[in-house]
Amino acid sequence: MSVATMTKIASRTPWRRRVAVIAAASALAAAGSLWSGFGPRHALAAAPTQAYWTVAGDGGVFTFGGAGYFGSMGGKTLVKPVVGIAPTSDRKGYWLVASDGGVFAFGDAGYFGSMGGKTLTKPVVGIAATSTGAGYWLVASDGGIFSFGDAVFYGSMGGKTLTKPVVGMAAVATGGGYWEVASDGGIFTFGTATFQGSMGGKTLTKPVVGMASTTDAGGYFEVASDGGIFTFGDAKFQGSMGGKTLVKPMVGMTATSDAGGYWTVASDGGVFSFGDATFQGSMGGKMLVSPMVGITA
């Protein structure tokens, strides 16, 4: 029964019954069905999208949950191995990036340029897309940033002294900045990305291999090759594989759409889910032509 119908019934019923009907209508309104006039409307939070892609070094793409398959570089000749993947804003396409800076676009992902065929001081190690899906950044292990399409360059660690090499990056959801993460857990911020802490200068059992940011850009996660997770700002710790036996080392992570959970992926394709991230399958225990190198959602 709708809130409007309950309201009409309340106006035609005796007082004691009217109170009960009004209470029921208010409860329905609070659940987010409709605003009834009895109190504020509370919208139900959208459930996080439970879908993800993993990518291997040969450019093979594997889809799980509701993630669509739009093509891959698997079985094709690559100058250098693929090292990362990033989805478009509507999740109807994705980009792959190789260590030479070459970019490969699939689905509704547009090609906006690359560093392929150009001289790099250090290899590219990751990619992040803008919020519009009309551009992307590439990051190299020396911290250099290369921007394409509507991606704006906000600065980089390129040409500066690093204690350890950069291994990945994450973009602010609004597209106004980005973070770089190094293998010692050090974090470097640019644009509107804010520093919320890091593992830089602290003892790590194993090196950090990737990161993911929260939806509101108020925090971020780091993942180490032993599966350890480190959280900063409003990023919440939901569990990890740190201290547990892994068949192969972890190589990357991605957060759910509400940042209430995350998935990590190992080089054998095994996927591990935490928080509100649900397990949708993996390539763990299956034969891979090339090791897995990344994951995105």
pLDDT-above-90 percentage for the chain = 83
pLDDT-above-70 percentage for the chain = 85
Identify which of 19-23, 40-44, 177-181 has the greatest average pLDDT. 177-181
- Taking the domains of the chain in order of start, what are their residue ranges? 1-44, 51-296
The pair phi, psi for residue 28, each rounded to 5°, is: -65, -40
Coil, strand or helix at 244? coil
Question: What is the predicted pLDDT for the residue at 32?
Answer: 38
Residue of 208, 273, 262, 257 whose CA lies nearest to 236:
262
Please report the beta strands in the chain, taking only residues with DSSP state E, as ranges in sequence order: 51-56, 61-65, 82-87, 93-98, 103-107, 124-129, 135-140, 145-149, 166-171, 177-182, 187-191, 208-213, 219-224, 229-233, 250-255, 261-266, 271-275, 292-296
* Averaged pLDDT, 145-149: 98
pLDDT band at 46 (very low <50, low <70, confident <90, very high): low
Question: What is the predicted pLDDT for the residue at 7?
Answer: 39
* pLDDT tens, residue by residue, 60-96: 999 999 999 999 999 999 999 999 999 999 999 999 9
Kindly tell me if the per-residue pLDDT of 145 is higher than 90: yes
What is the C-alpha separation between 85 and 59, in angstroms, rounded? 9
* Token pair recorded at residue 146: 């290369």
Q: Which is higher by pLDDT, 99 or 28?
A: 99
What is the C-alpha separation between 41 and 28, in angstroms, rounded? 10
Kindly tell me if the per-residue pLDDT of 14 is higher than 50: no
244 to 7, 225, 226, 235, 239: CA distances (angstroms): 57, 12, 8, 22, 11
pLDDT band at 48 (very low <50, low <70, confident <90, very high): confident
* Averaged pLDDT, 122-137: 97
Minimum mean pLDDT range among 21-30, 166-175, 208-217: 21-30
* Averaged pLDDT, 106-132: 98
Kindly tell me if the per-residue pLDDT of 189 is higher than 90: yes
**Is the CATH number of domain 51-296 3.40.50.970?**
no
Q: Quick one: CA torsion of 51, 91, 81, 228, rounded to 10 degrees?
A: -40
* pLDDT tens, residue by residue, 206-265: 999 999 999 999 999 999 999 999 999 999 999 999 999 999 999 999 999 999 999 999
The mean pLDDT value of the chain amounts to 88
